Amino acid sequence: MEKQHLGFDLMIYESVDELSMDDRELMSRAREARDGAYAPYSGFHVGAAVLLASGDVVAGNNQENASFPSGLCAERVAVFYAGAAHPGIRILSIAISASGRVRELSIPAAPCGNCRQAILEYEQKQGYPIRILMQGAQGKIYECPSVASLLPLGFDGSFLT
């Protein structure tokens, strides 16, 4: 029998003031995107900003649908958009800003399982980790070093070859 510990160090910043200029800018792009979310059913607004190795930033927000499962989370909108508009360019970081329309979220909301799986594909494809920053309407920011850290024992293309 062997025991393995699968864990990571979560970095916690008290506010955006503790972030680097680049991360602060990326989070502000995520917040801006959040303002444009189409979320009439849940009232939960999410924005995601993807920083590429080229320096370009691609942003997206959640897009809901009267047929609920047809909607898509902000993270996947942003990452798929990055993949479509900037194919082959490495993703360095993703900032996520989330808040309810009525009740402001004061803690970071982590990406859902489907988004973790979708982003893992890009991390695995590029062979370099994607940093993830997340924040509520304001307050603390969580930083994760990679998507794999958020999805231990993840399923990827290597199982299919």
Those residues whose C-beta lies under 8 Å from the C-beta of residue 142, and which sit 6 or more positions away, are 10, 11, 12, 108, 110, 133, 134, 135
Pairing of strands 141-144, 11-13: antiparallel
CB of 131 to ligand THU, least distance (A): 16
Contact with ligand THU (CB under 6 A) among 27, 39, 50, 132: 39
Window of 51-59, 72-80, 121-129, 142-150 that interacts with ligand THU by CB under 6 A: 72-80
Does 111 engage in binding with ligand THU (CB under 6 A)? yes
Sole residue written with tokens 């990452």? 79
Separation between Cα atoms, residue 147 and residue 115, nearest integer Å: 10
Q: Is 115 in the site for ligand THU (CB under 6 A)?
A: yes
Q: Which of 14, 18, 64, 75 is catalytic?
A: 75
Q: Does 116 bind ligand THU (CB under 6 A)?
A: no
75 is catalytic: yes
Catalytic residue annotation: 75
